[in-house]
Structure 1
Amino acid sequence: MAKLYSMIIDAPIEAVWAFLKDFDHWAPLIPGYVTHKIWNSRKSSWIFTTEIGVIKKKIEFDLEIHSMHAPRSITFQVEGTNEGFIGHGNIEAKKMKRGRTFITASLDLQATGPLAKLIKPLLKSNPPKITQEFKEEVTARIHAYHNG
């Protein structure tokens, strides 16, 4: 089940790319984020929480970057480590007029294994929708990073 998110950042593509290529800058801003660990330039491990009704569920996964083309795209693959799922996605940046950047992110996740029926509801809620607050926070952090 593929999900697509997009937003316009009021910053030049070079500043957006410098911010996005380092997960430490933006990962903590994603709703449900708990932690992540960078193993090397291509591999990292992530932990998020999601709510299913009144129950909170921890989701752990590994992320591997397949390609990175500055300043426009990152493609990656994910694999659940505590729940059965696999997937792939990308983040793309496009230069706009007046120093703005259009960002799109897509993620396609598939439940696997014997618990797939139980995991599918988790995948429907993950990743959480990118909210206006998330966009504003990312934009503010990019400006601080670029001008700081």
Structure 2
Amino acid sequence: MFAGLLDASHLMPLDTLPDTAVEYARAAGFTGLLIYVADLNRQGLHLLTGPNGAAPGTETDIRVEGTVPGRAYQYGRLTSAAPQEAGGTAWWVPLVDGTERLGLLRVQSTYDDARALMILRKTMGIALGHPGRNAPLGRGSVVALVA
């Protein structure tokens, strides 16, 4: 799923990336995907939006320090986006290029935690360890949507 997005992203304008990423995520069984990129000072994570902007109620700016998404970003760990949402599970997925931290993906799924982890492993190539536990990303685990 994301391999196709990576191939397509080299020729697409940046403002079309969020909507295109959602299309690829839905094809893989996810119900939603948001892309947050870190600022240069690594103090905040900022929603990458398309031409229509963010959906109402979507958090557009997230502090790194003292937040669950910030912890996922700082430690490079897949983290549950608690509390559970009605109708699904959400995860914060570190977005990296080699060892460079770029931001986070917020991936939503209608499946329970174990099923969502299985899909994330298969579609994104992330080495996660035991389902339900946070595990650091391995060196070969590169997810780079913004290059």
* TM-score by shorter chain over 0.5: no
Task: Tell me which of the two structures has the higher relative contact order, counting C-alpha pairs closer than 8 angstroms and 6 or more residues apart.
Answer: 1
Higher strand proportion: 1
Larger radius of gyration: 1
TM-score under structure 2 length normalisation? 0.30
